[in-house]
Copies of this chain bind each other. A is one copy, B any other.
Amino acid sequence: MASFMLSDFLPYRLAVVASRMSGAYERRHSSDSGLSVPEWRVLAHLSQSSEVSVREIQTRVDMEKSKVSRAASRLEAQGLVAKVVNPNDRRLVSLSLTSEGKALMVRLTPIALQFQADVRALLGADAEQFEVSLNKLMKAKL
């Protein structure tokens, strides 16, 4: 039997590409934003759905709730996010962007879209098919 090749192993390759891509994107915006990846995810999610709980973000954004909670606290300390107890259900916290947070997202969005465009350009004609497969993997119960 041929010896096992880690460099051909799908989970490995995916992890390496994902880590490099996250790093590359982080380098592009961190000098402006100073955000970590978890903070970026929370901020970006809030920009598309204005009033959300920690739990909502946890499920939508694929992060542990403690990670979300801590990222939200850091964002609050930076003045980018407001945390208010939900009056209808006082267990929930309503997270929303401050005007400062919105302003940051206005600056970050074009950077994100440009980065994504660059990646797609790199893939050329295969980009669309690649994303279809990626969606399959997202939906699959791995």
- Residues of A near any B CB (own CB < 8 A): 1, 3-7, 9-25, 37, 41, 44-45, 47-48, 60-62, 105, 108-109, 112-113, 115-116, 119-120, 122-123, 126-127, 129-138, 140, 142
CB atoms of A18 and B14 under 8 A apart: yes
Q: What's the nearest-Cβ distance from chain B to residue A51, in Å?
A: 14
Q: Contact check, A7 vs B129: say whether CB atoms are below 8 A apart.
A: no
Q: Judge whether A115 and B6 touch: CB under 8 Å.
A: no
Is the beta-carbon distance between A17 and B126 smaller than 8 angstroms?
no
A48–B3 CB distance below 8 A: yes
List of 3 A-B pairs having minimum Cβ-Cβ separation, nearest first: A18-B18, A24-B142, A130-B133
When distances are taken between beta carbons in the complex, the residues of chain B under 8 Å from A129 are 126, 129-130, 133
CA separation between A9 and B5, bound complex, in Å? 30
- The reply to whether A122 and B138 contact each other, CB–CB distance below 8 Å, is no
